[in-house]
Structure 1
Amino acid sequence: MSLILIKNAQIVNEGEVIEGDVLIDGEYIVDIDTSISSKSSDTIVIDAEGKYLIPGAIDDQVHFREPGLTHKATIETESKAAVAGGITSFIEMPNTVPQATTQKLLEDKFKIAANSSYANYSFMFGGTNDNLEELLKTNPSNVAGIKLFLGSSTGNMLVDNEEVLEKIFSSTKMLIAVHCEDEATIQHNLETYLKEYGDDIPVELHPKIRSEEACYLSSSKAIKLAKKTGARLHIFHVSTAKETELFTNKIPLEKKQITAEVCVHHLWFDEADYKTKGTHIKWNPAVKTEKDKEGLWKALLDDRIDVLATDHAPHTKEEKLQVYTKAPSGGPLVQHALPALFTAFRQGKISVEKIVEKFCHNPAKIFKIEKRGFIKKGYYADLVLVDPASPWTVTKQNILYKCGWSPFEGTTFYSKITHTFVNGSLVYENGVFHNNLKGKRLLFNRTHE
């Protein structure tokens, strides 16, 4: 196998940007230095002058819809879009058809990914009101975590039995990731608007139905239970400024028992965008106010929020264009998340070092992923080159999602992903895919779980 030498890159790693070279041999990074000479005549040399070299992003929350919902997406189509967007590893959610709520059904998903994923992969086991025994069989060394829906979402896996919840929190040392929205509050709000509008509720009311109160009530309750039981809790897609007050930046990430994630769409859109985007930006939890967006940015930058993710959740255009009560929540994001974040960098909202910390380093730390998320000798060569001065516009023609649309359609980004390496293979280069299907199952360093 040829060596690959990346020359003259702006290497972004562990809070620094250093100009230098990276040598890849097989699947691994074998050398990092200010200048590395070509070792043999068949070394492939890539000149990365003017480009950032970052670790491949790790998306800790995606819905790739396979099995059972493959008219929306497949692991193959969405992992391909992810790689084009600089995401080299993903953790997928259990609300597929069938739901990944038994060990056999979970392993079935791993088998599909082994045959079809462009990116590295793991899947979460889905907790329900009645599968604790099965949940406790989950292997911490090769499964990302346990997912609980504390608010109903696509797939209706609501866990609402408080006794069961406490048992799950008390019984496993594995990371428990939660979707937090209080179902009773949502149903009460929904009934109010159904009486007024019927099914055709204006989408602008989505954040009033799936409200700040619903989010805060559920998140604060989950945190209280985690503190009581000592559970390792990770709260997905925080969407309100109020919730950010529940998290701390007073201790290092490695010592946190309670961590939080924010998604790109909650940092990019706010309630003013419903007028033009309609149900295309209908997510659960809802995109909320500009004040919430500002509060989320602040918490991300001051380290109360630990991780960036996408919650990539595609639906067909036809499904999304239905009336409010029938239009499903969720949208595709993996291809466009990093370009959106680099646009925020260009606008002065975030540094490149912080993007890498939150989208590459911290997911690896939180989930204890083996040899990924950093540019280090001996680590897998999951690497991405970003050209910060290469504007392009999102159009139907360059969207790779199976659903064929994006909430970013018509947006011009100023940075472009030019090269993506997965396990040392150049899988994506300037719009062209090479060496298909290099993804591997993620493994986790969890000796005490």
Structure 2
Amino acid sequence: MITSSVLIKNANIVNEGTIVNGDVYIENGIIREIASQISAKSPNVQVYDAEGKYLLPGVIDDQVHFREPGLTHKATIATESRAAVAGGITSFIEMPNTNPQATTIEKLEEKFDIAEKTSYANYSFMFGGTNDNLEEILKVDPKKVAALKLFLGSSTGNMLVDDPEVLEKIFSSTDLLIAVHCEDEDTIKENTAKYKEEYGDDIPIELHPIIRSEEACYLSSSKAIELAKKTGARLHVFHLSTAKELELFTNKIPLKDKKITAEVCIHHLWFSDQDYKEKGTFIKWNPAVKTAKDRDALFKALLDDRLDVIATDHAPHTKEEKNNVYTKAPSGGPLVQHALPAMLEFYHQDKISLEKIVEKMCHNPAILFEIEKRGYIREGYFADLVLVDLNAPWAVNADNIAYKCGWSPFEGTTFRSRITHTFVNGGLVYKNFKFYDIKNAKRLTFER
């Protein structure tokens, strides 16, 4: 529902480390005024009474796989961005390992064209690096593209960048933020071969974190960080999954000054290896969900700022694909609709404050990627906003799952908090399980 003027009243505004009750006035998609009380300036203003609900900046998810083009039996930009706004995610950054891969400027722009027509949430895409596309990497405009994605393990197509000389050249040559998936491929191959010899293709899923081990993660992460320090490259390490890797990161520097940053994903904060017995391949991710000790260490590092952002790594597959034996079941799962409710559940468990959730899911992605005028509730910023009722329990079930794949690792979970309204650039796109067929999204731009 798009109107040129919107007034949100009586909201508990969670922003920049504080919670204050007040009103927010929006005009033409921009936040124009924030005050304790604002009167409607004309009869044409659409007024929403928040009735004491909590108003958050729209979540920015810096790592999703929406599968388009080429893998649209699993998901599309339209279906998954729609699920994202139901989860309070108003902006996403999507990965390059689609089919075809976004490893040329031409293929990257084709994805932007699709999103412009079909996305419900604001969007950007990462450019993909390979062993032989440095010339294309150097053509990327850093003001228009989120980052460069390098797979240093667990890649698709030809996107595994495993030539050390090429890797150093890329790190030395680009001003783009370099985002990396870190798992050592040789270690994983060796472990897989060992267990395949014992079990064939039907390796017990409980061995997944042993195959994609702590050692595989640490070896790759430490090499990437060493290279970033050597070359001065701006490095962002995706989806940390082990306690050991946390020693590689610091909380001694403000985020805006960090050259090396890291994220943690929802599934690594929620699940542990104890959950494989019940969930099976439906919680098979790369990197793997590991021990409860790892999970607790990740949460601690999130709170003490060694880990900078929370993301989803949303990567849907069909139920049929996930129901395969270990070696044939793909890794990844859908998460954008349930990431914020999961974090709010941690709030109810007294594990994290609302202010910290907003910092890690809204403010910090905006700082880290230098996203223009998003991630905060500030006058002059785009009106990407989410209203949350902290006392409106709901259960995840097949009837309310919005993903094209039709399943969720959270199925059967009851969340105590509900996202009631999502605004994208001032337009109401979602309200209490109802979607408005309005595409008010914009391409993200970057202040670089």
Q: Following the alignment from structure 1 to structure 2, what is the Cα–Cα distance between the partners of residues 160 and 2?
A: 51
Does residue 1:403 correspond to 2:377, yes or no?
A: no
- Comparing 289-298 and 146-155, the one that deviates more: 146-155
Does residue 1:362 correspond to 2:364, yes or no?
A: yes
Q: Deviations over 1:280-328 (max 9, x none)?
A: 0000000000000000000000000000000000000000000000000
Q: Following the alignment from structure 2 to structure 1, what is the Cα–Cα distance between the partners of residues 331 and 437?
A: 34
Tell me what 2:174 maps to: 172
Query: Normalising by structure 1, what TM-score?
Result: 0.98
1:194-233 mapped onto 2 (5 Å cutoff)? 194-233=196-235
Tell me what 1:330 maps to: 332
Question: 1:422 aligned to 424, 433, 439, which one?
Answer: 424
Question: 2:433 aligned to 424, 431, 434, which one?
Answer: 431
Deviation at 1:44, TM superposition (A): 1.3
Aligned residue for 1:163, secondary structure, equals helix
Tell me what 2:353 maps to: 351
RMSD (Å), alpha carbons: 0.8
Q: Which runs of 5+ in 1 are unaligned?
A: none
Deviation at 1:227, TM superposition (A): 0.1
Deviation at 1:153, TM superposition (A): 3.4
Deviation at 1:45, TM superposition (A): 1.1
Tell me what 2:240 maps to: 238
Tell me what 1:377 maps to: 379
Tell me what 1:45 maps to: 47
Answer whether contact 1:154 1:329 (CA < 8 A) is retained.
no
Aligned residue for 1:32, secondary structure, equals strand
Tell me what 1:157 maps to: 159
- Comparing 422-431 and 225-234, the one that deviates more: 422-431
Q: Deviations over 1:37-66 (max 9, x none)?
A: 111112111111231100000000000000
Answer whether contact 2:142 2:176 (CA < 8 A) is retained.
yes
Q: Structure 1 runs of 4+ off > 4 angstroms? A: none
Answer whether contact 2:130 2:158 (CA < 8 A) is retained.
no
Amino acid at match of 1:108: E
Answer whether contact 1:118 1:436 (CA < 8 A) is retained.
yes
Answer whether contact 1:72 1:314 (CA < 8 A) is retained.
yes
Tell me what 2:69 maps to: 67
Q: Following the alignment from structure 1 to structure 2, what is the Cα–Cα distance between the partners of residues 146 and 406?
A: 29
Aligned-pair identity (%): 74
Q: Following the alignment from structure 1 to structure 2, what is the Cα–Cα distance between the partners of residues 266 and 272?
A: 12
Amino acid at match of 1:38: A
Tell me what 2:446 maps to: 444
Question: 2:26 aligned to 21, 24, 27, which one?
Answer: 24
Tell me what 1:413 maps to: 415
Deviation at 1:152, TM superposition (A): 1.9
1:55-204 mapped onto 2 (5 Å cutoff)? 55-155=57-157, 157-204=159-206
Q: Following the alignment from structure 1 to structure 2, what is the Cα–Cα distance between the partners of residues 272 and 432?
A: 35
Answer whether contact 2:374 2:382 (CA < 8 A) is retained.
yes
Query: Normalising by structure 2, what TM-score?
Result: 0.99
Deviation at 1:434, TM superposition (A): 2.0
Q: Deviations over 1:338-364 (max 9, x none)?
A: 000000000011100000000000000
Deviation at 1:330, TM superposition (A): 0.1
Aligned residue for 2:67, secondary structure, equals coil
Q: Following the alignment from structure 2 to structure 1, what is the Cα–Cα distance between the partners of residues 377 and 271?
A: 31
Amino acid at match of 1:42: N
Q: Following the alignment from structure 2 to structure 1, what is the Cα–Cα distance between the partners of residues 426 and 9?
A: 15
Answer whether contact 2:13 2:54 (CA < 8 A) is retained.
yes
Answer whether contact 1:315 1:331 (CA < 8 A) is retained.
yes
Answer whether contact 1:96 1:155 (CA < 8 A) is retained.
no
Q: Following the alignment from structure 2 to structure 1, what is the Cα–Cα distance between the partners of residues 433 and 397?
A: 14
Aligned residue for 2:117, secondary structure, equals helix
Q: Following the alignment from structure 2 to structure 1, what is the Cα–Cα distance between the partners of residues 398 and 285?
A: 21
Q: Following the alignment from structure 1 to structure 2, what is the Cα–Cα distance between the partners of residues 187 and 2?
A: 56
Tell me what 1:272 maps to: 274
Q: Following the alignment from structure 1 to structure 2, what is the Cα–Cα distance between the partners of residues 111 and 306?
A: 31
Corresponding residue pairs, total: 446
Aligned residue for 1:398, secondary structure, equals coil
Aligned residue for 1:167, secondary structure, equals helix
Aligned residue for 1:327, secondary structure, equals coil
Deviation at 1:229, TM superposition (A): 0.1
